[in-house]
Amino acid sequence: MAEVFNKQSKVIITCNRRLSPFLEQEVRELGYEIKRSFNTGVELYASVNECIKLNLNLRTASQVLYELKSFKASNANDLYKQLLGIAWEDLIAIDGYFTVTSNVHNETITTPLFANVKVKDAIVDRIKERKGLRPNSGPDLNRAVIHLHWMDERAEIFLDTSGETLAKHGYRKHPGKAPMLEALATSTIMATQWDGKSPFVNPMCGSGTLAIEAALMAQNRKPGLQRMNYSFMHFIGYDEEAFFNERRILKDITDKTNLPAIIASDISEDAIEIAKLNARTAGVEHLIEFEVADFAKTTIPEEPGVIMFNPEYGERLGVHSKLEMTYARIGDFLKTDCKGYRGYIFTGNPELAKKIGLRASRRFEFFNGKLDCRLLQYELYEGSKDK
């Protein structure tokens, strides 16, 4: 079974809802053919060694899942019997550790934990029968991870080659308040079609995620350079040379020349300190000009680029009447100080968005957690063509 590292099988790459168009773009740019796209991911064919490349490169993904087997299972006993037939002893070492995750909708299963236990039992019983000893199992995602996807009577069992989610990029040790998930931040920047060369301005930057992702993208610096542990490392047959080869490629394609002006401001000194710490961990602090200032005092480079706000939107933070004034001021600032730029505001509050006083030329749909959000695009024309 260790041939999974070289044998192609169905691979599902998952992402948060509404990020799949951006994930699709990334996967195609890496040279893979996509068989199917859906709301929370894409499907392709790849080996586990190819999954190493995907894990290290993708900014918008959550998990890279490699299919071992698909089968019919009406109930937990069917599931157990089918899984007992897989050569787990060729995949998980007897002194290893594994965890089971699942996505289960089957009328005989009242809690996914019961399905997880059945998967664990089948793996352990098979290995113990063949090898006389059994690996440990538990909830930690930092070793081998097995994923069950079971809808009605159709079950699929995967190696989760990622383990800990890829949607977090490993630099945010200090999250600040209401931070934006890194994969979401990347996707919103991709939606702007920013070229990575013109200025990127991020007033009200909070913990700095948007500015940091912009700096990483401008350098073509991939998330895999920030991380040294993945689930694929904990399966039998893993060749660490394959991982280090991919890392070397990532280092070689990182471009540290001709980098754009990236400006991040916040009125809170604490927020800027947190943002600087995060940028330092990401290795891009030197690429971002941090300013402690009201957003209206943010330095705007003469050369037009992209300016993006992710203001509070009243769901968890802030008070409405004060926020209404803030949104109105953002609109005035964009209109008067950012001519020639493309302006973007990410918000989960359509009522507040109306206070901006500008007509959006495009609206991109996102979720921030479970909250329905929009990225609003504004063409900030030179001269008096305000809408």
Say what the pLDDT of residue 240 is.
95
Whole-number Å distance between alpha carbons of 70 and 382: 58
Instruction: With a cut of 70, say whether residue 2 has pLDDT above it.
Output: no
Q: Which CATH architecture has domain 2-160?
A: 2-Layer Sandwich (3.30)
Q: Is the dihedral of CA 319, 321, 326, 327 positive or negative?
A: positive
Say what the pLDDT of residue 385 is.
43
Whole-number Å distance between alpha carbons of 176 and 3: 44
Q: What average pLDDT does this structure show over 14-21?
A: 97
- Residues ≥6 apart with Cβ < 8 Å to 102: 112, 115, 116, 119, 147, 148, 149, 150
pLDDT tens digits, residue range 147-199? 999 999 999 999 999 999 999 999 988 777 778 999 999 999 999 999 999 99
Instruction: With a cut of 90, say whether residue 258 has pLDDT above it.
Output: no
Instruction: With a cut of 70, say whether residue 281 has pLDDT above it.
Output: yes
Does 182-220+256-379 match 2-160 at the fold level?
no
- Residues ≥6 apart with Cβ < 8 Å to 364: 188, 191, 374, 375, 377
Instruction: With a cut of 80, say whether residue 386 has pLDDT above it.
Output: no
Instruction: With a cut of 50, say whether residue 270 has pLDDT above it.
Output: yes
Contact between 81 and 126 (Cβ < 8 Å): no
CA dihedral 277, 280, 281, 284 (to 10 degrees): 130
pLDDT tens digits, residue range 223-243? 999 999 999 999 999 999 999
Residue 294 CA to its chain's centroid (Å): 30
Domain ranges of the chain: 2-160, 182-220+256-379
With CA atoms as reference, report the closest residue to 226 among 216, 215, 240: 216
Whole-number Å distance between alpha carbons of 158 and 66: 5
Question: Hunting for tokens 């995967």 — which residue is that?
Answer: 158
What pTM, to 2 d.p., does this model score?
0.94
Whole-number Å distance between alpha carbons of 345 and 335: 13
With CA atoms as reference, report the closest residue to 42 among 57, 64, 59: 64
DSSP state of 36: E
- Buried b or exposed e, range 35-51, using 16+ CB within 10 angstroms: eeeeebbbebebbbbbb
Amino acid at 277: L
Whole-number Å distance between alpha carbons of 338 and 343: 8
Return the minimum-mean-pLDDT range out of 128-137, 281-290, 317-326: 317-326
Say what the pLDDT of residue 373 is.
96
pLDDT tens digits, residue range 68-109? 999 999 999 999 999 999 999 999 999 999 999 999 999 988
Amino acid at 117: V
Main-chain dihedrals φ then ψ at residue 45, nearest 5 degrees: -120, 130
Contact between 135 and 94 (Cβ < 8 Å): yes
Main-chain dihedrals φ then ψ at residue 113, nearest 5 degrees: -60, -35
Alpha-carbon radius of gyration of the chain: 23
- Residues ≥6 apart with Cβ < 8 Å to 206: 176, 177, 178, 179, 180, 266, 271, 275, 310
pLDDT tens digits, residue range 293-350? 999 999 999 999 999 999 988 754 445 778 999 999 999 999 999 999 999 999 999 9
Domain 182-220+256-379: top CATH class: alpha beta
Share of the chain above pLDDT 90, in %: 89
Whole-number Å distance between alpha carbons of 358 and 328: 9
